Structure 1
Amino acid sequence: MIYSQYPKGQHFPAEKCTQNCIIFILKGELLVNSEEYPGTTLQARQCILQAIGSKVELLALTDVEYFTYRFTELPLLCEERYKDILERAYAPLTYTPLPIIPKLERLFGDLTEYFREQPNTCSRYLNVKCQEIIYILTCYYPIQQVSTFFYPISTYTESFHYFVMQNYDKVKNVEEFAHLGGYTTTTFRRLFKNMYGVPVYEWILDKKREGILNDLQHTKQRISTISTRYGFDSLSHFAHFCKDSFGDTPRSLRKRTANGENITIICKEHNKEQEDE
């Protein structure tokens, strides 16, 4: 649990969530830009949930005060209630922030005082408070309302899903991915295909393309930095990949983006040797 205060104008560029994340706004207005909440103004006494792997951009429209809770698995005190929530979870046409009810607001009032008074926080105390927060969210709201709220993480309830989402951008090939999780390559490919419906290598390439295109279009990172981040051993290899995937070199793609052009993925190359089941 992290307590934050930022002045008006504070900006956090789009960044991928490495864990599930709930943002609770206590004071002020925070502009959120993500797939679920595009251009959404999050106001005082509201909260949103972003699933692992999603990209979130934040801009303080006023001075803001908020809590951020990051987690891999929810600390559940009432698992039966949460199972009911997941069974009814569905994707809404439009996501809307969840209001913070008075019971939850009082809890955050106590936590705010705690963070202001304690120079060194106690992890055990905060863990207990996190359990209480999730208990209120799951048990004190109408089930249909929280079913929509928790939908973004409803597909990541199994450990294999968590493992994939937390590590896919840290590996260069299928064999390395399987070894990291303690699986044989054959077993890993089978589990992955059963859960995601596509070969693992094809899925990794698609994720790599999405990340590269986002970094070229929306960040000022050096091209060499982006190339290294996504595992390319040379800039020429990276340029070749970009030409195949987007139709142009990295520098040209940046220039076209700066001129207002919308760049899309045009090619999905396949590596039959690595995809063979």
Structure 2
Amino acid sequence: MNRLYNERYKSFDQYVSDQEIGFTKWDLTEGESLNRELIDHNHIFFILNGSVKISCNEFHDRIFKAGEMVFIPKSASFTGETLEASLIINHSFENPLNICDKAMMESLAPLSDTIAYRFQPLAIRPPLDHFLELFVSYLDDGVRCSHLFQAKQSEIFVLFRLYYTRLENATFFYPLIGKSVDFKSFVMANYLKVESVEEFARLGGYNVSTFRKKFKAHFNESAYQWILKQKSKHIKYKISIENVAFKDIMDEYGFATPAHFNEYCKTHFGMTPSQLRESLK
């Protein structure tokens, strides 16, 4: 560690980054959990060593290994664990920071209609690998400077623009891209918190008619139908976890009776909760 730097840095507490936003290094042992309250932010896991198993929304037990990165969107249902000792850099962020980064994400929106999203990794290739090696040194020295982290987030998105194709970026960041990154980010951050489209519109400061039109323009379907589909993904994910009791799922998602829950699962998944859990093993 650079002791001179660390001594001086500690006197500037106002520059210490929010622990939930920025970059953290995870040096993990085999079998260690990755479940760390991720839903409030977007995350990129850069896997430098080892391998991990991740389930995210409707995608279960996907294996990611050293030299790969994976994007976890905000509000995702997520679990993960290491399959061997692993070194991971976790970059957490709310939105792309500057106009160029937002413009890139918005320019990719037309590609979303041509992509079948599969929650796939993207290779860490030069010069991104060199960037990450340097960042490991910063984190090992205890650097928590928010200004540096903001600059490095912008640099990462420059590297994505320069060294990855538009199709690669669109496939990797699929849950984030849209005609308006800010509007999509608002939707992804809040759709699990609202009980109705009317409440959703008020939360965003829209009248209901404007919100419905804006939503349809961005997601190509009504807000009501889209929210139902997203919640069904979360419910299916929870059913897939064997140690989560059906009663807990019912309470979380507002099912008044087991019969109501059974009927919902038959309608949306073609089988009862018990049958669905068995089929997902």
Q: TM-score when scaled to structure 1? A: 0.73
Shift of the 4–254 alpha-carbon distance from structure 1 to 2, 3 Å rule, reads same
* Residue segments in structure 2 that go unaligned for 5+ positions in a row: 1-22
Shift of the 40–156 alpha-carbon distance from structure 1 to 2, 3 Å rule, reads farther
Partner of residue 274, structure 1 = none
* SS of aligned partner of 2:139: helix
Partner of residue 30, structure 1 = 52
* Contact 2:29 2:85 (8 Å CA) reproduced: yes
1:98 aligns with 2:122: yes
Letter of the aligned partner of 1:101 in structure 2?
A: R
CA distance in 2, matches of 1:117, 1:27: 20
Shift of the 228–49 alpha-carbon distance from structure 1 to 2, 3 Å rule, reads same
Letter of the aligned partner of 1:62 in structure 2?
A: E
Partner of residue 63, structure 1 = 85
* SS of aligned partner of 1:136: helix
Partner of residue 8, structure 2 = none
Letter of the aligned partner of 2:206 in structure 1?
A: Y
Shift of the 36–129 alpha-carbon distance from structure 1 to 2, 3 Å rule, reads farther
Partner of residue 29, structure 2 = 7
| Identity among equivalent pairs (%) | 24
Letter of the aligned partner of 2:181 in structure 1?
A: E
* Contact 1:215 1:226 (8 Å CA) reproduced: yes
Letter of the aligned partner of 1:218 in structure 2?
A: I
Partner of residue 195, structure 2 = 172
CA distance in 2, matches of 1:185, 1:88: 26
Could you tell me how far 1:229 is from its partner in structure 2? 2.8
CA distance in 2, matches of 1:34, 1:5: 21
**CA deviation digits over 1:48-70, x for unaligned, max 9?**
22344544432211100111222
Partner of residue 140, structure 2 = 116
* SS of aligned partner of 1:22: strand
CA distance in 2, matches of 1:185, 1:78: 31
Instruction: Count how many residue pairs are aligned between Structure 1 and Structure 2.
Output: 254
* Contact 2:50 2:85 (8 Å CA) reproduced: yes
CA distance in 1, matches of 2:103, 2:250: 46
CA distance in 1, matches of 2:251, 2:58: 29
* SS of aligned partner of 1:5: strand
Shift of the 135–182 alpha-carbon distance from structure 1 to 2, 3 Å rule, reads same
The CA RMSD measured in Å over matched residues stands at 3.7
* Contact 1:88 1:144 (8 Å CA) reproduced: no
* Contact 1:77 1:135 (8 Å CA) reproduced: no
Partner of residue 16, structure 2 = none
Q: TM-score when scaled to structure 2? A: 0.72
* Contact 1:75 1:134 (8 Å CA) reproduced: no
Could you tell me how far 1:4 is from its partner in structure 2? 1.0
1:86 aligns with 2:105: no
List structure 1 runs of 4+ shifted beyond 6 angstroms: 13-16, 92-95
After TM superposition, list the pairs within 5 Å mapping 1:1-277 onto structure 2. 1-12=23-34, 17-34=39-56, 39-76=61-98, 78=100, 82=104, 86=108, 89=111, 91=115, 96-118=120-142, 121-155=144-178, 157-218=180-241, 220-230=243-253, 232=254, 237-247=256-266, 253=272, 255-257=274-276, 260-261=278-279
* SS of aligned partner of 2:96: coil
* Residue segments in structure 1 that go unaligned for 5+ positions in a row: 264-277
Shift of the 127–62 alpha-carbon distance from structure 1 to 2, 3 Å rule, reads same
* Contact 1:14 1:56 (8 Å CA) reproduced: no
Partner of residue 9, structure 2 = none
* Contact 1:37 1:96 (8 Å CA) reproduced: no
**CA deviation digits over 1:140-192, x for unaligned, max 9?**
34555445434443237432222111111101122221111111223223323
CA distance in 1, matches of 2:116, 2:258: 39
CA distance in 2, matches of 1:104, 1:184: 44
